Amino acid sequence: MPRKRRSEMGPSEDDRSTSKRQRNQYQTSRRYVKTDDGFNQKRCINWFREYTTVNDPDTLGPDGMEKFCEDIGVEPENVAMLVLAYKMGAKKMGFFTLNEWLKGLTDIQCDTIEKVQCKLDFLRSLLNDQNTFKFIYRYAYDFARDKDQRSMDIDTAKAMLQLLLFNWPLYQKFAQFLEQSKYKVINKDQWCNILEFSRTISNDLSNYDVDGAWPVLLDEFVEWLRQQTTIDLS
């Protein structure tokens, strides 16, 4: 009976042992890559502490916020920062607590500068969904207002409206109206109704109901804008 060649006899014990070691090394390597590429809470906390002080290691304040924005390449006023704050559930503009930081960055699975940079377009894209936009818009009011006041001061309101409603065709006119108006603050009912107005009232105001339940602020805006239009046509 002729002897079988080694290739016909199947792998030897040594071959099987080598193959097993290679598989184990490959699986270990894959686990390492997955852990390295995935979200790491410890790394996220260490990154957070690069922006805090020894006296208050669990609060990222204005100086740290400026450095954070510089690192990820956006201005503090960039709308992506507002969306990120919304993801964190941040309570106060210019500050992130460690718990808020972990909540938001765990949500978007980011623990490095580069990962957040890759998510900036995603954060901005959330504003394209009407329901999500509404939640962020309402969140912005309590986030940005002075916590010692029930209403938002008019300058802050104008800045936030410019950030959120810059695509509204009547925004520039509304900003002009606010500039010359008697209003020093915007309350939450007015804030919410401004969004509703921008979504439902046509640019020529033809479907605006003077007997509707709009705040006086918006009644006065409509009256002002119609006067402006009459002046422009005369």
User: CA 109, 83, 152 angle in degrees (round to 5)?
Assistant: 145
Same-domain check for residues 116 and 52? yes
CA 109 distance to own-chain centroid: 14
- Given 94, 126, 158, the domain boundary residue is 126
Q: Is residue 119 part of a domain?
A: yes
**What CATH number does the domain containing 122 carry?**
1.10.238.10
Q: Is residue 4 part of a domain?
A: no
> pTM for the complete prediction?
0.81
Give the residue numbers spanning the domain of 61. Answer: 41-126
**What CATH number does the domain containing 157 carry?**
1.10.238.200
Number of domains present in the structure of the chain? 2
Same-domain check for residues 121 and 154? no
- What pLDDT sits at residue 147? 86
Q: Is residue 137 part of a domain?
A: no
Burial of 183 (0-12, 13-18, 19+ CB in 10 A): middle
For the cut 70, the answer to whether the pLDDT of residue 12 exceeds it is no
End-to-end CA distance of the chain: 114
Same-domain check for residues 175 and 218? yes
For the cut 60, the answer to whether the pLDDT of residue 34 exceeds it is no
- What pLDDT sits at residue 19? 52
**Biggest distance spanned by C-alpha atoms of the chain:** 114
Same-domain check for residues 161 and 91? no
79, 166, 41, 232: which is closest to 175 by C-alpha?
A: 166
Question: To which H or E segment does residue 83 belong?
Answer: helix 79-88
Band (8; pLDDT cuts 50, 70, 90): very low
- Given 92, 126, 160, the domain boundary residue is 126
